[in-house]
């Protein structure tokens, strides 16, 4: 089975996304965003909004229902008068149509007591502090040996600071919710990466039992981390539905997504590498400076990949964060590994140049036998195989390392390489499988397909395990009423869900076999829970790896960068569904290209706002930006991660791509761009 099972539904428009669910008598909620970055709401005048025909209610801090579960300040909608960032939802209009609601939202008059705000991250910000841990719960700092002494004594040293900008997730489908109350129970159709998690969190906010909230997310138009948790739109829709006694639809606008649905915080990262003349690392240090909001601490784990990539006896990693008057950062596309590996892998390229060693060879020389900090064995690690396979396929051998030495008419050309990595994990999930007397199977799990092909992958393993054609299986996902499951996030969906599905399918298959295939009239069913299996995993270091190769052309006159060729070679355990996997990997690499050249949310210090506000002002790589791109993988057996042996590929595709492109730009031009994105002006500044 190679086709995507939901493909026909998607191309014919039958696939239903959250906002499209038909409900009788729907009303529409439209949020009013704060226009200050810090301060207090003094007064709200809803008179003008309420006078618009079709307006049903204006919800503000003065009249909003009290929410009992306000642990997450981003979900404590209209529960106080303080404003923590520009764009925060401070009121909402509910009306008969979205047009009326939007029009009336502009007529809600809010007076503020504005306070001075601070939205600018600097490396010496006095508010920087050491958080107790970094995401998701890694140690903040690590150290081994004597970094300072070894670095000072090193024959070759690299000491460079890299910067990545704020970036916004921007899935094609904006966040949207339809909320329906029936008595004390709430059903929400929501665009989410995790129906089970969203149901639990929404129930907590409204003080309900988990079973009183049902979340349905049949099709999701991308998430990229931004839909890993419920956002303000879910709470607003449910609150507005309660206030008006009507089902309520609420869609976040593209412009509002720059404030309320999460983003990647900007980072300032200093990397120091000390090596012998042979390129073997003796000292390695990665110091990360990051920002979070005043509402919540969210510290991106950007130095954690540095802890396991390369051998070096003397090493240190640190993270510091400052609370600014900015929207709360959140999970975005390989959080941590993606910006962190831009810095580390760029520094490795600088070290290769400083040592006069080929950058592929440099990485091979620094391959660790075990996890360099914990001493744990790797469950499986094939980075060197990826580098060698990639070098062969890409035609790396014989590369002239001289920067700025190749020109074809007006184009300067170059190539670059970088390593990739992402943790390989699974989280407890449950599944139920049933068979009827007539031989129809059902597989039930509250997984989510956010456009990755999860449905197809789950059908592949279910059909294989049950020994029946996929067409005989009715797979149900995307509903919190199904057995609870891990979110589609952290590259853990496939490993987590296939584990539960295969376990349940095996149990059912054994029942059927025990009866010699005779299914009783009431059918048979089996339930699986992987909590104990995952709890019993050995103490191994588990990661996916990859090698990214890039070719670039840089216009010598304009600084325009083109990427004629990208190749990624990955080692990620079993690839369950090859066609979807390749698509997901080249999607990740395209995001990496986008990060390298385009994506940048710039902060306006005066208003405290990311003023990009749409996809014209926030450029994401489009088809014309991508030329020859390919992703392949090597055969890898992963013994730990469940019966499928799948490591997950959601995020490893993006990691390293930006460093490979930046290194190729250096090779083409001799200009090392250490702050993303690689804009024209940065290349022309050094090349007048
Ligand atoms: Mo992904 S950023 O872990 O949803």
C-beta of residue 191 within 8 angstroms of C-beta of residue 212: no
pLDDT in tens, 207-259: 999 899 999 999 999 999 999 999 999 999 999 999 999 999 999 999 999 99
Distance, CA of 292 to CA of 264 (rounded, Å): 10
Q: Is 648 in the pocket of ligand 1 (CB under 6 A)?
A: no
Count of CB atoms situated within 10 Å of the CB of 38:
22
H or E element: which one contains 552? strand 543-555
Closest by CA position to 419, among listed 305, 562, 291: 305
Read off the tokens for 539: 């103490």
**CA–CA distance, 103 with 84 (Å, rounded to integer):** 25
pLDDT the model gives residue 2: 66
Distance between CA atoms of residues 407 and 394, nearest Å: 20
Distance CA 305, CA 574 (A): 22
| pTM score, whole prediction | 0.97
What's the pLDDT score for residue 238?
98
Which atom of ligand 1 sits closest to the CA of residue 488?
4
Residues 438-458 pLDDT 10s: 999 999 999 999 999 999 999
Taken in order 567, 573, 574, 577, is the CA torsion positive or negative?
negative
C-alpha span between 275 and 350 (Å, rounded): 12
Distance, in Å, from the CA atom of 556 to the CA atom of 158, rounded to the nearest integer, reads 28
Buried b (16+ CB within 10 A) or exposed e, 505-537: bbbbbeebeeeeeebeeeebbbbbbbeebbeee
Rounded CA gap, 190 and 221, in Å? 11
Q: Which of 426, 591, 592, 651 to mutate to test the pocket of ligand 1 (most atoms within 8 A of CB)?
A: 651
- The confidence score (pLDDT) of residue 688 equals 41
User: pLDDT at position 3, please?
Assistant: 87
Residue 152: CB atoms within 10 A of its CB come to 11
Task: Tally helices (H) and strands (E) across the chain.
Answer: 17, 24
Q: Residues in the chain with pLDDT < 70? A: 1-2, 686-688
**pLDDT computed for residue 248 by the predictor:** 98
Ligand 1 lined by 225 (C-beta under 6 Å) = yes
- Ligand 1 within 6 A of 228 CB? yes
Give 138's DSSP letter.
B
Report the distance separating Cα 330 and Cα 332, nearest Å: 6
Q: Rounded to 5 degrees, what are φ and ψ at 495?
A: -65, -40
Residue nearest to atom 2 of ligand 1 (CA): 225
Q: From the alpha carbon of 491, which atom of ligand 1 is closest?
A: 3
Q: Which atom of ligand 1 is nearest to the CA of 225?
A: 4
C-beta 490 within 6 A of ligand 1: yes
DSSP three-state, residue 176:
strand
Position in ligand 1 atom list of the atom nearest CA 228: 4
Q: Give the residue from 250, 249, 238, 97 showing the smallest Cα distance to 181.
A: 238
Q: What is the Å distance from ligand 1's center to 228 Cα?
A: 7
651 is catalytic: yes
How far apart, in whole angstroms, are the C-alpha atoms of residue 198 and residue 67? Answer: 16
Alpha carbon nearest to ligand 1 atom 3, residue: 490
Task: Tell me the Ramachandran region of residue 374: left when phi exceeds 0, alpha when psi lies from -120 to 50, beta otherwise.
Answer: alpha
Rounded Cα distance, 277 and 258, in Å? 47
Burial of 639 (0-12, 13-18, 19+ CB in 10 A): exposed
The 441-444 sheet, strands edge to edge? 473-476, 441-444, 430-435, 524-529
What is the per-residue pLDDT for 154? 98
Distance CA 676, CA 289 (A): 15
In this structure, the residue with its CA closest to atom 4 of ligand 1 is 225
Give the helix ranges, DSSP H, for 415-546. Answer: 454-466, 493-514, 531-535
Structure tokens at 126: 């006095």
**Cα 190 to Cα 487: distance, rounded to the nearest angstrom:** 14
Contact 601, 258 (CB under 8 A): yes
Whole-number Å distance, alpha carbon 454 to ligand 1 midpoint, is: 15
């Amino acid at each position: 089975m190679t086709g995507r099972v939901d493909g026909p539904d998607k191309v014919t428009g039958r696939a239903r996304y959250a906002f499209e669910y038909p409900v009788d008598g729907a009303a529409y909620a439209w949020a009013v965003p704060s226009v200050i970055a810090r301060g207090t709401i003094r007064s709200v005048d809803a008179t003008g909004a309420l006078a618009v025909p079709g307006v049903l209610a204006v919800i503000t801090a003065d009249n909003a229902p009290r929410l009992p579960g306000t642990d997450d300040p981003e979900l404590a909608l209209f529960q106080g008068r303080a404003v923590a960032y520009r764009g925060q939802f401070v009121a909402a209009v509910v009306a008969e149509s979205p047009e009326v609601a939007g029009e009336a939202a502009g007529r809600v008059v809010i007076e503020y007591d504005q306070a001075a705000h601070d939205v600018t991250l600097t490396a010496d910000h006095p508010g920087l502090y050491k958080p107790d841990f970094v995401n998701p719960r890694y140690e903040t700092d690590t150290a081994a040996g004597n970094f300072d002494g070894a670095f000072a004594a090193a024959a070759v040293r690299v000491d460079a600071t890299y910067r990545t900008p704020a970036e916004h997730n921007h899935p094609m489908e904006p966040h949207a919710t339809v909320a329906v109350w029936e008595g004390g129970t709430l059903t929400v159709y929501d665009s989410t990466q995790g129906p089970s998690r969203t149901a639990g969190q929404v129930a907590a906010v409204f003080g309900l039992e988990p079973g009183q909230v049902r979340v349905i997310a049949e099709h999701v138009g991308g998430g990229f981390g931004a839909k890993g948790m419920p956002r303000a739109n879910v709470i607003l829709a449910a609150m507005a539905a309660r206030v008006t006694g009507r089902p309520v639809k609420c869609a976040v606008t593209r412009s509002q997504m720059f404030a309320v649905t999460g983003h990647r915080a900007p980072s300032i990262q200093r990397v120091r590498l000390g090596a012998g003349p042979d390129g073997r690392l003796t000292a390695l240090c990665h110091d990360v400076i990051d920002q979070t909001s005043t509402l919540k601490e969210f510290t991106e784990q950007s130095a954690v990949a540095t802890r396991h990539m390369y051998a070096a006896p003397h090493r240190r990693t640190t993270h510091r964060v400052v609370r600014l008057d900015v929207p709360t950062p959140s999970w975005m596309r390989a959080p941590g590994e993606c910006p962190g590996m831009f810095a580390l892998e760029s520094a490795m390229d600088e070290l290769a140049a400083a040592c006069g060693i080929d950058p592929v060879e440099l990485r091979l020389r620094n391959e660790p036998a075990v996890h360099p900090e914990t001493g744990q064995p790797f469950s499986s690690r094939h980075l060197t195989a990826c580098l060698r396979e990639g070098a062969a396929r890409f035609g790396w051998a014989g590369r002239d390392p001289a920067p700025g030495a190749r020109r074809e008419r007006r184009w300067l050309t170059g190539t670059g390489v970088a390593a990739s990595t992402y943790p390989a994990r699974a989280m407890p999930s449950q599944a139920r499988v049933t068979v009827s007397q007539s031989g129809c199977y059902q597989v039930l799990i509250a997984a989510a397909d956010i456009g990755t092909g999860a449905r197809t992958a789950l059908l592949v393993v279910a059909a294989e395990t049950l020994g029946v054609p996929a067409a005989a299986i009715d797979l149900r996902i995307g509903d919190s009423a199904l057995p609870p499951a891990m979110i589609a996030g952290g590259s853990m969906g496939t490993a987590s869900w296939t584990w539960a599905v295969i376990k349940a399918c095996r149990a059912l298959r054994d029942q059927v076999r025990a009866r010699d295939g005779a299914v009783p009239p009431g059918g048979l069913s089996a339930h699986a829970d992987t909590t104990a299996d995952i709890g019993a995993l050995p103490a191994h270091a588990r990661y996916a790896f990859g090698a990214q190769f890039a070719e670039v052309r840089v216009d010598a006159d304009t600084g325009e960068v083109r990427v004629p060729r990208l190749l990624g070679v990955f080692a990620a355990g079993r690839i369950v569904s090859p066609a979807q996997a390749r698509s997901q990997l080249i999607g990740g690499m395209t995001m990496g290209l986008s990060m390298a050249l385009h994506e940048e949310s710039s902060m306006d210090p005066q208003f405290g706002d990311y003023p990009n506000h749409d996809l014209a002002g926030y450029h994401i790589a489009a088809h014309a930006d991508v030329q020859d791109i390919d992703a392949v993988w090597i055969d890898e057996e992963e013994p730990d991660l469940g019966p499928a042996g799948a490591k997950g590929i959601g995020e490893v595709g993006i990691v390293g791509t930006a460093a490979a492109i930046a290194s190729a730009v250096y090779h083409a031009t001799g200009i090392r761009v250490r702050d993303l994105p690689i804009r024209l002006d940065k290349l022309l500044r050094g090349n007048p």
